[in-house]
Amino acid sequence: MEGVARHFDLVAFDVAGTTISVADEVPAALRYAFSTVDLGVSDAQVHAVRGLSKRQAIENLLLTLSPSLDSEALATQRDAIFASFKERLIESYETATVQPIDGVEVTFSWLRERGVAIALTTGFDRELLDRLLARVGWTGTLDAVVCDNDVARGRPAPDLIREAMHRTTTKDVARVVAVGDTTADLYAANHAEVGYAIGVLSGAHPLEVLRQAPHDVIIESVADLPEALRTRGADE
């Protein structure tokens, strides 16, 4: 069934682990950043905040590790840890292998041929994302790119997806597909009430974890997205 454009106007993709393959430096960068203020975070604690806005992830971890912080101290420490995290991650990504997920550019072409807009949404800030997009040659090639610092709330709030809709003049959320590799991506899709929420197994969360979040389908990677959309269109 090739008339997918009759069913969907926009696909909003997550970035790291969903559309771009990059060494998973986020956990190490978070652990390093917390160590700069003499706090330690476990692998399990880091895993629990994967996919969230990075500032929100840091704040959540701080609330767990230092529950007695008042709001002003919390904000000050969060911002200091975020600055260290961002600096460490940029350093890591300068030398790490950064490349498109296998099959993603074929999927992008397939969507463009059918008039479906393509947006990237991410918990990274603009500076970091711009560096990643430059590494894969995608600068200026997407219909919309929405970063954490473009919206009031990061995932699992729906703001990233809603801003992608705004920037692509997509009116009907039922005609939006959201794709991501974490439960936070899927909860954001659910909160936005998109027409089709898709988890991918190419990134942070394995199948047994993704299954715990609201979703319509879980696929191996974005390379399988055209077939998933054909199937959805045929069912409708």
What is the distance between the alpha carbons of residues 120 and 142, in angstroms, rounded to a whole number? 8
Q: What is the pLDDT of residue 123?
A: 87
Tokens 């699992």 sit on residue? 156
Q: Do 161 and 189 touch, CB atoms closer than 8 A?
A: yes
Q: Which pLDDT tens digit goes with each residue over 142-176?
A: 999 999 889 999 889 999 999 999 999 999 999 99
Residue 56 has pLDDT above 90, yes or no: no
The dihedral sign for the CA sequence 80, 81, 82, 83: positive
| Residue 163, φ and ψ in degrees, nearest 5 | -70, -35
Q: Where are the domains of the chain?
A: 4-23+99-235, 26-95
Q: What is the pLDDT of residue 204?
A: 83
Query: Which CATH number describes the domain made up of 4-23+99-235?
Result: 3.40.50.1000
Q: Say which range, 48-52, 174-178, 215-219, has the weakest mean pLDDT.
A: 48-52
CATH topology of domain 26-95: DNA polymerase; domain 1 (1.10.150)
Q: What's this model's pTM, rounded to 2 decimal places?
A: 0.83
